């Protein structure tokens, strides 16, 4: 090439001509005046001779308001930018810095940020769905102790596994989540056997041995009146599980999923220049504290929202238990009809 | 109403909480029957000498067996009587040192029944624990 332009020793792929202190690339200058440009991107003035400015540069570097007013900035990585980058690569020997102005030892070196380190590629589209693991201890019986569901605590933690990944587009390290696990516990407490129409087994399918001619109407009324509440006396085994599973699946899992999606987006914004970490191990060490902070905040938010959800008779967790009570009520009704107690 | 709160032992950390109707009172007082699970009605926080929280209980989702609106869910505590519970803090076994143990009681939704409103009860005490 017969002319010289000021190639930065470290040509930036993100070079934007909107920066008033950065000169447009040669190709962009060609773009400035299409009338002088042939389809090969060469300026016809250049072909024809040397119009140099006061700095000895091609004439289009001279201050010229008319030209400035016609200056257009192409979209990022457009044809002209690619061409400029290709030209830069040629000058720099494609990063090998083997070509120098005076033939001396290579003077052009890529900055550490420009060196793509070894590591798995970052996948910005990857989404990790939490894995939910609930401990369900064997049910106990009590007429005062409550069934409980819990998650998102120190003893029932939500944890993540991930790794540092190479984002070649932005030349940075990112943190890629691999998995998320949320532990929970669902502790079922049944009433004593006398409180169930079918006391054994503990799934409401057994014989209705606690149902008699003198109590079946009370049982039906209790099961009906408190289908979405706390029983006066009679209950259904399956109601406990339906209620607690609602907390676990319909509340906690939904809330945590929502917060994790937000957390993933925040984590995806974290980045570390290649020059700031030489390996995946180092990158993880530097990124993980921020990842952990985001993650913990998300779990905490999910738990706060969960605890604020109403859980009184008539609320969704209680409505969720109703089918078990309805089914048992129908069974008792049919039993009474079969025995002709209803006549 | 008075509260008797103590730490029964530091190994397999055992906390004791009870209501106490002083014998100076002339009438019975009603208290909610349910006192567990730990973390729901009674919560515990432990702080080290630098006032950094090193343990806390968490409030689980609870489906009570007793209906808060019914009289049978409350206990009539005669003057001079107590009603309480001992609760173990699973997984907490403090090393030798000085700790502040904050124990809080909340009656949650058990705020009384017809003719006997208790309102919201929130009681917190901080005990100093020395483990040798």
Please give chain B's pLDDT, 132 residues, in tens. 899 999 998 888 999 999 999 999 999 999 999 999 999 999 999 999 999 999 999 999 999 999 999 999 999 999 999 999 999 998 888 999 999 999 999 999 999 999 999 999 999 999 999 998
Q: State pLDDT tens for residues A128-166.
A: 999 999 999 999 999 999 999 999 999 999 999 999 999
Which residue would you say has higher pLDDT here, A275 or A53? A275
Q: Which of A144, A229, A247 sits opposite B33 (nearest CB)?
A: A144
User: How is residue A35 annotated by DSSP?
Assistant: G
CA–CA separation, B28 vs B23, rounded Å? Answer: 10
Q: Provide mean pLDDT across the span A97-113.
A: 41
CA A132 to chain B, closest CA, distance in angstroms equals 17
B57-94 pLDDT per residue, tens = 999 999 999 999 999 999 999 999 999 999 999 888 89
- Please give the model's pTM, rounded to 2 decimal places: 0.75
Q: B56 and A154: CB-CB below 8 Å?
A: yes
Residue A48 is given by DSSP the state: H
- Say if B67 is an interface residue toward chain A (CB within 8 Å): yes
Percent of chain B whose pLDDT exceeds 70: 100
At A10, is the secondary structure helix, strand, or coil?
coil
pLDDT confidence bin for A86, thresholds 50/70/90? low
Structure tokens at B128: 């100093």
Q: At what angle do helices A316-338 and A237-245 cross, to 10 degrees?
A: 160
Instruction: Name the interface residues of A facing B (CB cutoff 8 Å).
Output: 142-150, 153-155, 189, 191, 229-230, 232, 240, 243-244, 247, 251, 306-307, 311-312, 317
What's chain A's Rg over C-alpha atoms?
36
Q: What percent of chain A has pLDDT over 90?
A: 66
């Amino acid at each position: 090439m017969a002319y010289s332009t000021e190639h930065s020793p470290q040509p930036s792929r993100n070079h934007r001509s909107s920066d008033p202190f950065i000169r447009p690339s040669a190709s962009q200058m060609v773009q400035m005046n299409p009338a002088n440009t042939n389809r090969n991107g060469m300026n016809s003035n250049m072909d024809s001779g040397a119009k140099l400015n006061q700095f000895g540069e091609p004439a289009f570097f001279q201050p010229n308001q008319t030209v400035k007013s016609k200056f257009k900035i192409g979209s990022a990585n457009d044809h002209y930018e690619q061409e400029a980058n290709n030209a830069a690569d040629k000058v720099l020997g494609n990063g090998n810095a083997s070509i120098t102005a005076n033939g001396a030892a290579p003077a052009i070196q890529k900055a550490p940020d420009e060196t793509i380190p070894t590591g798995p590629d970052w996948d910005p589209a990857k989404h990790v769905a939490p894995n939910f693991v609930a401990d369900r201890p064997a049910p106990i019986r009590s007429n005062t102790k409550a069934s409980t569901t819990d998650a998102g605590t120190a003893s029932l933690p939500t944890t993540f596994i991930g790794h540092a990944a190479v984002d070649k587009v932005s030349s940075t390290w990112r943190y890629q989540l691999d998995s998320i696990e949320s532990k929970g516990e669902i502790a079922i407490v049944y009433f004593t056997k006398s409180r169930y129409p079918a006391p054994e087994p503990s799934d409401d399918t057994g014989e209705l041995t606690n149902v008699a001619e003198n109590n079946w109407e009370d049982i039906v009324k209790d099961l009906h009146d408190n289908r979405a509440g706390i029983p006066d006396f009679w209950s259904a085994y399956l109601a406990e599980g339906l209620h607690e599973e609602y907390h676990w699946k319909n509340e906690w899992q939904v809330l945590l999923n929502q917060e994790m999606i937000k957390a993933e987006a925040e984590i995806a914004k974290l980045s570390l220049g290649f020059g700031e970490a030489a390996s995946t191990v180092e990158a993880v060490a530097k990124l993980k504290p921020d990842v952990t902070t985001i993650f913990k905040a998300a779990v905490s938010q999910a738990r706060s929202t969960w605890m604020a959800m109403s859980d009184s008779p008539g609320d969704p967790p209680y409505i969720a238990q109703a089918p078990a009570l309805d089914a048992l009520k129908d069974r008792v009704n049919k039993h009474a009809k079969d025995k002709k107690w209803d006549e | 109403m008075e509260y008797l709160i103590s730490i029964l032992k530091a190994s397999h950390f055992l906390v004791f909480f009870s209501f106490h109707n002083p014998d100076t009172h002339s009438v019975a007082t009603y208290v909610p029957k349910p006192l567990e699970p730990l973390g729901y009605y009674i919560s515990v926080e432990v702080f080290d000498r630098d006032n950094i929280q090193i343990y806390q209980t968490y409030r689980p989702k609870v489906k009570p067996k007793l209906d808060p609106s019914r009289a049978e869910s409350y206990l009539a505590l005669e003057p001079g009587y107590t009603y309480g519970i001992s609760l173990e803090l699973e997984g907490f076994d403090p090393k030798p040192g000085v700790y502040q143990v904050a124990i809080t009681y909340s009656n949650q939704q058990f705020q009384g029944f017809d003719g006997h409103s208790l309102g919201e009860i929130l009681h917190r005490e901080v005990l100093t624990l020395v483990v040798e």
